[in-house]
Structure 1
Amino acid sequence: MTRHLVVIAAGLSNPSTTSLLGERIADAVTAQVGGRGESVSVEYIELRDLAVNLAHAMTTGGLPDPVLDQVKRTVSAADGLIAVTPVFKASYTGLFKSFFDVLDQDALVDMPVLIGATAGTPRHSLVLDYALRPLFTYMHATVLPTGVFAATEDFGADGSELERRINRAAGELATAMVSTQTGVAGFMQEGLGAGPVPADQGGASSSVGGARRQSGTELKPAVTDFTTLLRGHDGS
């Protein structure tokens, strides 16, 4: 079975150490899932490429955007999520927050999420626990115990400590992705939360522990046309 992993990176530069961290974590997850006899398809989402779309969504009340809607569907249908951001002003970037602000409230229900961050100094490492973890907990995702923080010095000659953290976190996400037949967060039975999650084949949403994971790209209920609304009141 092939599991689907999505990597969301909020780096602003190109190349970006934030994107590099996301790629290294994804490679480690792929290797560990492969060691369990399964495969992973990885999709990378660079938020800097969606900056204009996100600005329009935030200022127009969420009018449909084909590009952004496809990204929303991709995220809500994933078996696992890696979310990495640079640290600006002691927290995640505005671009990172804007993306999760436009997601449906139920887009990440019970999804295993591995959080990561980059910064110039190790003194920002607590951002994982005081900023990122509460954000995803609020969205009812299952945030994995180990987050990965990388300071500039971690990308130096000796990256063994960063590699150790990456492998530990990747092991947790790999376990979360392969523990059930559906590939979504079944290992929560092993001490981290709710039971197995059946997959939905509809594309726009998936069934999650009795709840419905929603991409938010479909209008429900259907919009009533004006002819019906004005019937009997249009002078005819």
Structure 2
Amino acid sequence: MSKLKVVAVSGGLSKPSKSAALASAIVEQIARIVPVETTYIEVASLLADLPAVSSASHAPSEVIKAIQAIETADALVVSTPVYRASYTGLFKHLFDLVHYEALIDKPILLAATGGSERHALVLEHQLRPLFSFFQALTLPVGVFANDRDFENYQIVNENLKDRISLAAAGAARYFTKHDSYAL
């Protein structure tokens, strides 16, 4: 049985990050259902190099490794904090460096964190269109969390934990319906 190569990308600009914690919680829940091999990419870890990169072919090695991990993953879990009703600029910049055909039909579970529920539509109005450009398959159930759902970067809200379980179960059903990941 092969493991699903999942890459969790967090667009947070600080460490620790609620967006990274959310992505990690989602991947952990998926891993309870299907075998996964996970790579974590945090934009915060690329802050020294990413802003100056104008082309993937001229990127520093850490940025190239992140791009290659994204492009070769079987599936992505993407999570970003919401700033001014959208994802972070450096999260977008990272995906600007991904080859435009690398994500075709790749399943992507969308997640975001924000200061209030007012930002919850970022999943539908910002993230889905971004990954639609790539012709990726955005999974139907996304996860939004607000600041009150965390204590010390740990998820404490039971409703959010239930939403993560629902999204992970849906992702696992998708993966197991496709022969290469059948259990």
After TM superposition, list the pairs within 5 Å mapping 1:44-193 onto structure 2.
Answer: 44-58=40-54, 62-155=57-150, 159-183=157-181
1:150-189 deviation per Cα after TM superposition (whole angstroms, max 9, x unaligned): 0112226961110111111111222222322323xx9xxx
- Report sequence identity in percent: 36
Local SS of the residue matching 1:69: helix
For structure 2, the 5+ residue unaligned runs are none
The question of whether the paired residues in 2 share the 8 Å contact of 1:121 and 1:151 is answered with yes
- Aligned mates of 2:57, 2:114 — CA distance in 1: 31
Residues 128 and 179 of structure 1: CA distance in aligned 2, closer, same or farther (over 3 Å): same
Local SS of the residue matching 2:24: helix
Local SS of the residue matching 2:100: coil
Q: CA deviation at 1:64?
A: 4.5
Aligned to 2:19: 18
Residues 55 and 10 of structure 1: CA distance in aligned 2, closer, same or farther (over 3 Å): same
The question of whether the paired residues in 1 share the 8 Å contact of 2:111 and 2:142 is answered with yes
1:122-173 deviation per Cα after TM superposition (whole angstroms, max 9, x unaligned): 1110111011111001111000011100011222696111011111111122
More off after superposition, 85-94 vs 148-157: 148-157
Give the letter aligned to residue 114 of structure 1: L
Q: CA deviation at 1:10?
A: 1.2
TM-score (norm 2): 0.89
Aligned CA RMSD, in angstroms, stands at 1.9
Local SS of the residue matching 1:18: helix
Q: CA deviation at 1:62?
A: 4.8
Tell me the number of residue pairs that the alignment of Structure 1 and Structure 2 aligns.
Answer: 178
TM-score (norm 1): 0.70
Local SS of the residue matching 2:58: coil
More off after superposition, 103-112 vs 46-55: 46-55
- Aligned mates of 2:13, 2:56 — CA distance in 1: 25
Residues 64 and 86 of structure 1: CA distance in aligned 2, closer, same or farther (over 3 Å): closer
Q: CA deviation at 1:70?
A: 2.2
More off after superposition, 156-165 vs 43-52: 156-165
Give the letter aligned to residue 164 of structure 1: D
- More helix by percentage: 2
> Which structure is larger by alpha-carbon Rg, 1 or 2?
1
Residues 5 and 61 of structure 1: CA distance in aligned 2, closer, same or farther (over 3 Å): closer
Return structure 1 stretches of 4+ with deviation > 3 angstroms.
none
For structure 1, the 5+ residue unaligned runs are 34-38, 187-236
Local SS of the residue matching 2:70: helix
Q: CA deviation at 1:77?
A: 1.5
The question of whether the paired residues in 1 share the 8 Å contact of 2:78 and 2:108 is answered with yes
Local SS of the residue matching 1:11: coil
The question of whether the paired residues in 1 share the 8 Å contact of 2:29 and 2:165 is answered with yes
